[in-house]
Amino acid sequence: MPIDATKPYDESNIFARILRGELPCTKVYENEFALAFNDIKPAAPVHILVIPKGPYVSWDDFSARGSAEEIAGFVKAVGHVAREAGLVEPGYRLLANVGMNGGQEVPHLHVHIFGGAGLGPMLAR
């Protein structure tokens, strides 16, 4: 069930629990701004989620409330993870679902990195 991205941050969401170490993840990368881990239900041969360390519901929330340092650190982390995964030369796709129409399921900002194969059209038609 997609979430309402205008709601306040919910500290009990699954990615907050992963950040606190209460739930496991298959970690790919971590620094002071971001944690990257494999998606539990991969939709492509490479499917990594990158989340900011701070409590941001969505891309909308992060872009409005995140500090310049957090935003720069997060964007750089996404690029670093994709490079380290060897995705630049073959190419890859980034996706951040926001709210109901975006189909966002987890109310903590996450950028999906998809790669490892041709990904087809941008959206189903």
Catalytic residues: 110
Ramachandran angles phi, psi of 38, nearest 5°: -70, 140
Which residue stretch of 5-13, 33-41, 62-70, 71-79 sits at the interface with ligand AMP (rule: CB under 6 A)? 33-41
Q: Which is nearer to ligand AMP, 1 or 68 (CB)?
A: 1
Closest Cα partner for 98 from 125, 70, 60?
60
Least separation in angstroms between CB 64 and ligand AMP: 19
Residue 104 touching ligand AMP (CB under 6 A)? yes
Say whether residue 25 binds ligand AMP (CB under 6 A): yes
14 binds ligand AMP (CB under 6 A): yes
CA distances from 79 to 4, 8, 21, 100 (A): 28, 28, 24, 27
Note whether 87 and 115 are within 8 A (CB). Answer: yes
* Residue 45 makes contact with ligand AMP by CB under 6 A: no
